[in-house]
Amino acid sequence: RLRLHDGKLIKDRRYHLRTYPNCFVAKELTDWLIDHKEAPDRETGIRLMQKLMDHYIIHHVCDEHSDYKDAKLLYRFRKDDGTFPLSKDVKVFMRGQSLYEKLVSVEESILKVREENSVKYQRTFLGCEMIDWLIQEGEAENRKEAVELGRALLEHGIIQHVSNRHHFFDSDILYQFWINFRRRCRLTELLNENSSRALSESPDSPFCLRKLNPDPGNTSFLSVQTNKEIKIVSAVRRSSITSLAGNSNPYFSTTPTLVFPPVAECNPKSVLKRPVTNEELLSPGAPYIKKTLTIVGDAVGWGFVVRGGRPCHIQAVDPGGPAAAAGMKVCQFVFSVNGMYVLHLDYQTISSLIMTGPRTLMMEVMEAIE
């Protein structure tokens, strides 16, 4: 976006006696992507821009087109017109980025390459060190507030315990920044993701924002124990810190596993007994009824999982969560989200709509008549 501003591709444009500020012409942008080697051809450029539209980064100036068209149509970055959805999750992500930049810009940073149990980890810090630093820099008023911030960063996948065994504590447990915010991501990387799971969970993805859901009682976490086997590997310049990983992955020495409980580590089998089409759902006399659900999210979300596509269905419901209390059930089909018709969308797009929307979620679902 900033490069396009500098190159004057983004500017105020007049069309049909109306001026549209800070917009670009789709066809010109496709040319720019090819000229600057951000895309090898027009087809790839279109796919890249569609990815940005799907993630609510750009949109048509009048929202008359949901697809990115390689034509003389005006589009705009949502950051330029104030419509970028700054949800609580996005704000935590941006806070994590701000803290990371602040940490790596100082001479004596608490971020160091350390070794634990003969494994080297990058961008690491002790929990108690981070607490001290947050208070010292005025990022938190007291240790309790600093712990809450650390827990929010961990639950949003920004930091992690080096072996994914602990939540965030004010102790000498070793943590690391999971995301290298200074790594510049090329747009074409968006098209290298082979699955929706990889897109949402891979730290290499430019769209790596995701929220974890650690339960304090979950056996995925161990109780707090002091670890005496932590040692600093070497004092190096931060610019060369990634070279010490010892493998091809610029982020980790080990593969992260704590995203969801182990049962969700692979794509679960659909709960549907058979595929259902939109035509079948909407045909006159079809054995389905529509229900409207009002779900008020709690501190950890809404308590359900959407899967499938065109139409999407409810794959799982937390029995103790807000969705179950509102009447949501497994196998219901998602008809609308906050007033938007979504039968034609895939579950990644619907999940994004939910995550970037208000805490009170209005959903229409279609349920088979028993």
Please tell me whether the peptide bond between 261 and the residue prior to it is cis, using omega within 30 degrees of 0.
no
% of the chain exceeding 70 in pLDDT:
78
- Token look-up 């074409």 returns 188
Confidence of residue 81 (pLDDT cuts 50, 70, 90): confident
Rounded-to-integer distance, Cα 328 and Cα 339, Å? 17
CA distance 358 to 98: 24
Q: How far apart are CA 342 and CA 361, in angstroms?
A: 14
- What is the pLDDT, as a whole number, of residue 233? 60
Same domain, 59 and 129: no
In sequence order, the 6+-apart residues with CB closer than 8 A to the CB of 31 are none
Strand-strand pairing, 112-116 and 119-126: antiparallel
**Residue 146's pLDDT is what?**
94
Which residues, 6 or more positions from 83, have their beta carbon under 8 angstroms from its beta carbon? 59
- Calculate what percentage of the chain has a pLDDT beyond 90: 36
Last residue of a domain, one of 121, 146, 177: 177
How many CB atoms are closer than 10 A to CB 172? 15
Cα dihedral: 197, 251, 186, 80 (round 10):
80
Structure tokens at 370: 């028993």
pLDDT at position 56 is 86
Task: Phi first, then psi: give them for residue 185, nearest 5 degrees.
Answer: -95, 130
Average confidence score pLDDT of the chain:
79
Q: Please count the CA atoms within 13 angstroms of the CA of 188 that sit on its side-chain side.
A: 11
What's the pTM value of the predicted model, to 2 decimals?
0.47
The gap between the terminal CA atoms of the chain, to the nearest Å, is 52
252 within some domain: no
Q: Examine residue 152 and state whether it is found in any structural domain, yes or no.
A: yes
Confidence (pLDDT) at 257: 28
23-49 confidence digits (pLDDT tens): 999 999 999 999 988 899 999 999 999
Q: How many CB atoms lie within 10 A of CB 266?
A: 8
- 285 and 340 belong to one structural domain: yes
Stronger pLDDT, 355 or 159, i.e. the higher one? 159
Q: Are 175 and 124 in contact (CB under 8 A)?
A: yes
CATH number at residue 107: 1.10.10.10
C-alpha separations of 243 from 85, 112, 115, 246, 249 in Å: 36, 13, 15, 7, 10
Q: pLDDT digits over 217-266, tens only? A: 443 454 455 554 566 664 333 332 222 333 333 323 333 322 233 333 34
- Length of the chain (residues): 370
Sign of the C-alpha dihedral computed for residues 24, 30, 34 and 37 taken in this order: positive
pLDDT digits (tens, 9 = 90+) for 245-259: 333 333 233 333 222
Query: Does residue 82 form part of some domain?
Result: no
Of 162, 177, 192, which marks where a domain is finished?
Answer: 177
Same domain as 157, residue 96: yes
Strands of 58-60's sheet, edge to edge? 11-15, 18-25, 74-77, 58-60
Q: Is residue 293 part of a domain?
A: yes
Single residue among 119, 142, 177 that ends a domain in this structure: 177
- Across the beta sheet with 159-161, the strand order is 159-161, 174-177, 119-126, 112-116, 230-234
Is the same domain home to 107 and 55? no
Specify the pLDDT at position 15. Answer: 84
In-domain check, residue 311: yes
State pLDDT tens for residues 180-213.
777 666 777 777 654 444 444 444 444 444 445 4
* Same structural domain, 102 and 66: no
Instruction: Confirm whether 216 is domain-assigned.
Output: no
User: Residue 347 belongs to a domain with what CATH number?
Assistant: 2.30.42.10
The boundaries of the domain holding residue 118 are 88-177
Mean pLDDT confidence for 323-344:
92
SS3 call for 44 = helix
Q: How many domains does the chain have?
A: 3
Residues 68 and 110 in one domain: no
